[in-house]
Amino acid sequence: MASRPLLSAAFHSQSAVAALNFYNAETLLAHIRAANAVCASIILQTTESTINYLGLGLIVAMARAAAEQMENPVALHLDHGGSYQLAARCIEAGYTSVMFDGSKLSFSENCAQTRRVVELAHAHGVSVEGELGHVAHNDEATTDNMAGFYTGAEDALRFVAETGVDALAIAIGTAHGFYKGEVRLDFDRLAQIREAVGETALVLHGGSGVPEELLRQAIVHGISKINFGTELKNAFTLAVKESLSASDDIDLRRTFAPAIAAVQQISLAKIRICSHPR
């Protein structure tokens, strides 16, 4: 289903939806099992890199099969889509939610390009996430200069009004990748943005590595979707390395079993935080 109903339900229940990136059948299985264990809805995400790796047809088929196995509704979301063309391809293939990331563009160009994606997506019943401010990668930013990337409340209000997005990814202190120092989130800024944009869903990118208590506070202050990717990839890779070093077994089903379990454990923890923030 589209992500907007899931995010709206989360907003009204003062909770959030865990948005989990998947990269192969094993990580997808882990997310399915984790969501079913607590009977929760989740958003399954792929980046452009994963699309290039698996192909749109296979991703959509896998997600549809996953949805049939899940007890609660699920959305398939394009994470950090960089162009109108990619969003259009995903919509045509069967994605129910797309993101257009124009955060490195000028404000006016970001609005114009995002609005174009919204018009196409809404005509097909697909939800759209935009980004304002810039959630940096840890290679780009330090705690001293991160504030330069942050989202302003007035800009957020104008962006939502001009684009019609269903969800808005904002920058309040998180980053992509592994954190190099203490994570600090600007909750006063988040509260101001939340008040400015009304019921438009707010999204926190870079959820991996953020302490549980900060994630819970972010939800209480108005975040409705939290993205997780780095921790999932790391858990999978470490488990596979350990499995391969411990045995000469060439049966991939046994090799990958510990990796599935490792990702499932993290997915479950993140889903629980999002579903029960208080």
Which residues participate in catalysis according to the annotation?
79
Q: How far apart are CA 46 and CA 97, in angstroms?
A: 11
DSSP H helices, 94-146, are: 107-123
Q: How far apart are CA 57 and CA 67, in angstroms?
A: 15
DSSP run (H or E) holding 193: helix 187-197
CB-based contacts of 119: which residues, under 8 Å, 6+ apart? none
**208: DSSP letter:** T
Residue 54: how many other CB atoms lie within 10 Å: 18
**Joined tokens for residue 237:** 């890779």
**Joined tokens for residue 86:** 């990619």
Phi, psi of 225 (to 5 degrees): -145, 130
Instruction: List beta partners, residue 176.
Output: 137
Residue 85: how many other CB atoms lie within 10 Å: 9
- Of 64, 15, 79, 14, the C-alpha closest to 228 is 79
What phi-psi label fits residue 79: left (phi over 0), alpha (psi between -120 and 50 degrees) or beta? Answer: beta
- Of 143, 197, 144, the C-alpha closest to 170 is 197
DSSP run (H or E) holding 146: none
